[in-house]
Amino acid sequence: MVQPEIKNALQQNRNLENDDGMTPLDTEIASHDCCVATSNVTAWRVLKNISGGQAKHKKYEAEYRSLRSAISSNCLFLIRNVHLRQEDDVKKSKVDLGEMLHLAVSSAGVGEDIVHYLVDQGADVNSIRDGFSVLDACLARNGVSESVLGKHAKLCKYQDYSLCTAAKEGLAGLARYLANTARKGSKDGTRQRDGGFLPLHLAASRGHADTVKVLLKANSNVHEQTDGGFTALDLACESLAKASPGSEVYSRLCRTIDILLSRNCKLKEFRGEQELDKARQHIQKAGAKEGGDKEEPSKADVRKVAKKRRDEQDEPLKTVDREVKAKVAEEEKKTESYKEAEKLAKKVAESREVLQASWRGPDRPLSGI
């Protein structure tokens, strides 16, 4: 449904500037935040459909033209508008789109639909920026599924990393990628040891809770012990005893212990359960502070929500497409009817000629029927 305010602004005077140097469309864009909100695409459609592209938005022209700003704003409609508006001779090259792809996978809040669009437009999935490939940046932030980049995306900075190294540094996305890659190669990367420690032990001892989750999901044995006989819970409690309460490391270790306890991991070498009680109390306080024990939505849920939002935005275009297809089908049916009528007329003419030939005598012609 077209916003009446924007419609009136365009019909009265498309480009009259006020004291602040803003056109009517600027005012509507500012009030509805059309530049950065994915859902507010009506202003742009009004600009295109009603004014025939004549209305100007002077204040937001720079932001409107900037593909980088559009990506940072997580607005797929604006990205499409900016990218497709450019002339063919100045259209972004694959290298430039590769830089935009780097920005997309590295920025918080940017959805997979934007990454998918850039890849479809020919962005170089192996472009390098500051020593990081696109896949490196994607796995480092762990906000977008690496599957969106396709099978040709390669590691650069992390190409020599093992699963143990990823666990040490708390690179949850890289740990998931390496575990899945090892599984596809018929290897169990989660059982590789580094100095007698499994990846799960290395991540738990450093409080890398997200990495611990990834490794447990990759079928790491929570009861597996180090060469010295310590479980992952032993190592996490030992590190918690040395950490300063209130620090970030302390909070991470408490989360790690909570995750391990939820998988029924037991203490073996670490004596006393004071650290377990501390971790439970910290988690309870953190949950009460956040207004409950809410779990963050899974990536699958986030992708479903993004897909639903994208489908809702594309519904008007789909409706028009369906109407066009229905009309085309109707015209095709009419064409087929005309062809059938022509065939029938041809058969009638042939039958008439045969009938005339059968009735015609040897000495006299048959009069017309």
16, 237, 317 from 277: Cα distances, Å: 67, 10, 56
Q: Are 232 and 200 in contact (CB under 8 A)?
A: yes
Residues 275-300 have a mean pLDDT of 72
pLDDT for 179-197, tens place per residue? 888 766 656 677 888 889 9
Complete domains list, the chain, with CATH: 1-63 (no CATH), 66-160 (1.25.40), 188-301 (1.25.40.20), 330-369 (no CATH)
Percentage of the chain surpassing pLDDT 90? 22
CA gap 241, 228 in Å, rounded: 19
pLDDT at position 358 = 78
0.75 cut: is pTM over it?
A: no
Lowest average pLDDT, out of 132-146, 183-197, 221-235, goes to 183-197
> What are 258-269's pLDDT values in tens digits?
999 999 888 888
Secondary structure of residue 17 in the 3-state scheme: coil
Q: Rounded to the nearest 10 degrees, how much is the dihedral formed by the CA atoms of 171, 177, 183, 189?
A: -20
Helix, coil or strand: residue 55: coil
Q: What is the pLDDT of residues 315-355, one digit of tens each?
A: 777 787 788 888 888 888 888 888 888 888 888 888 888 88
The model's pLDDT over 74-97, given as tens digits with 9 standing for 90+, comes to 767 667 666 655 544 444 444 467
Q: What is the mean pLDDT of the chain?
A: 76
Q: How far apart are CA 243 and CA 4, in angstroms?
A: 60
- Which comes out higher in pLDDT, residue 65 or 238? 238
